[in-house]
C-alpha cells in the first residue's frame, strides 16, 4: 500500500481497496480492472494508468474442480448462481475438463469465460 500511495489521488483508503480487490481477484490482468474498485473514477484512472502495470504471471488461479463453495464465491466475477451450478455439475458429472463444458452446460456464457479465463484452472 505504501507504493500505491505515491500515486496521484491514491490515499490509504484507496490503496487498501486496490490491494484487497487484487487479493479477491487473484491478481490484475488489465489496468482497467482498477475501475471496478468502489469509488475509482475514470478521472482517477486516467491519472494513474500511465504509472501502473500489471503482471499476468502473478495471477493466482482457482482450481475449479477442487475449490469449495466458500472459496469460489469470494471471487468477484463468480456469481452465486455460477458457483451453485459448478458445485452441482461436479456432483452430477464429476470433474469439469474444459471451458466448453462450462459454456455448453450454461454455467458460463462466452462473455463470462472471457472475463474469468485468467482465473480458472482445471
> How far is the C-alpha of 65 from the C-alpha of 91, rounded, in Å?
10
> How far is the C-alpha of 68 from the C-alpha of 86, rounded, in Å?
10
User: What secondary structure letter does DSSP report for 60?
Assistant: P
Q: Are strands 120-121 and 62-63 parallel, antiparallel or unpaired?
A: parallel
This prediction's pTM: 0.90
Q: How confident is the model at residue 21 (pLDDT cuts 50, 70, 90)?
A: very high
Q: What pLDDT score does 6 carry?
A: 97
> Per-residue pLDDT tens for 91-114?
999 999 999 999 999 999 999 999
> Per-residue pLDDT tens for 80-92?
999 999 999 999 9
Amino acid at each position: 500500500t505504501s507504493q500505491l500511495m505515491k500515486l496521484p489521488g491514491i490515499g490509504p483508503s484507496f490503496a487498501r481497496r486496490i490491494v484487497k480487490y487484487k487479493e479477491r481477484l487473484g491478481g490484475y490482468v488489465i489496468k482497467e480492472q482498477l475501475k471496478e474498485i468502489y469509488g475509482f473514477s475514470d478521472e482517477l484512472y486516467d491519472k494513474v494508468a500511465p504509472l501502473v502495470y500489471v503482471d499476468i504471471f502473478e495471477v493466482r488461479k482457482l482450481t475449479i474442480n477442487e475449490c469449495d463453495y466458500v472459496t469460489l464465491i469470494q471471487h468477484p466475477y463468480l456469481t452465486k448462481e455460477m458457483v451453485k451450478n459448478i458445485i452441482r455439475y461436479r456432483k452430477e458429472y464429476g470433474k469439469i475438463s474444459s471451458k466448453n463444458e462450462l459454456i455448453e452446460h450454461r454455467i458460463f456464457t462466452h462473455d463470462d469465460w472471457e472475463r474469468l479465463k485468467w482465473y480458472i484452472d482445471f
